[in-house]
Structure formats: structure tokens, C-alpha cells
Amino acid sequence: MRRLLVIAAWVLVAAVYLALGWIPGTLLLLAALAGSLRALARTARALAPFLQCPHGHPVPTYGLVRCSACGFTSEGLVWRCRHCGARYGHTPCPTCGLSVRNPAL
């Protein structure tokens, strides 16, 4: 009799798991989707031609860049060195000198 109760309990647990198992899967899927959309929005903002500094001045995201890690000077995105691949967390505003954060980081 006891063995029958244990088997029935396991069958009940398996049935509940199979009936409600879609809920955690859906929540995980929604969390992954939200993270992907946030990363896509950050990437789109980092690739925009201009950003605004805290004072509202336009800061170009493409131009002449000198890498602080290797010293290489090139023209390109101000967020990454084309030579050594170093990533930059900020760039100065050409008007007022305040830093603008890299939106992709």
C-alpha cells in the first residue's frame, strides 16, 4: 500500500510539472527577449552619427581617434581602436570637454 502511495505521489508531481512547466519557460524566454532588445537599442545608439553631451552639444561618434593603449591613429568609430581592438568607455565633447559614455557598454 505504501509503495502505491509513493508511486501515486510521483505521478502527481510529474503531472503538475508537465502541466505548469510552460510558465518558467515562458518567463525565461521573455527575460532573454528583453535582454536582446536592450542590447539592440544600445548598439543602435552607439552607432548613431551623433550623441549629446550632458550640456546638449553634439558629439560625433565617427572621426579621428588616437588609441590610448597602442598609440595608433585612425579614422573610425570613437568607441574602438581599429589596430589593437581596445574599447573606450567614453569620449570627450569637442565643445565643452565633458565625457560622453559609450552606450554599448
Q: Which residues, listed in sequence order, are joined to residue 41 by a DSSP beta bridge?
A: none
Q: What is the mean pLDDT of residues 6-29?
A: 82
Residues 95 and 55 in one domain: yes
76 neighbors 82 (Cβ within 8 angstroms): yes
This prediction has a pTM of 0.58
Show the cell assigned to 74.
585612425
- Confidence band (pLDDT; 50, 70, 90) for 28? confident
pLDDT tens figures, 77-104? 888 888 888 888 888 898 998 999 988 7
Residues 65 and 104 in one domain: yes
24: domain range? 1-46
The number of folded domains in the chain is 2
Q: Quote the CA–CA distance of 23 and 60 in Å, as a whole number.
A: 45
Write down the pLDDT at residue 31: 92
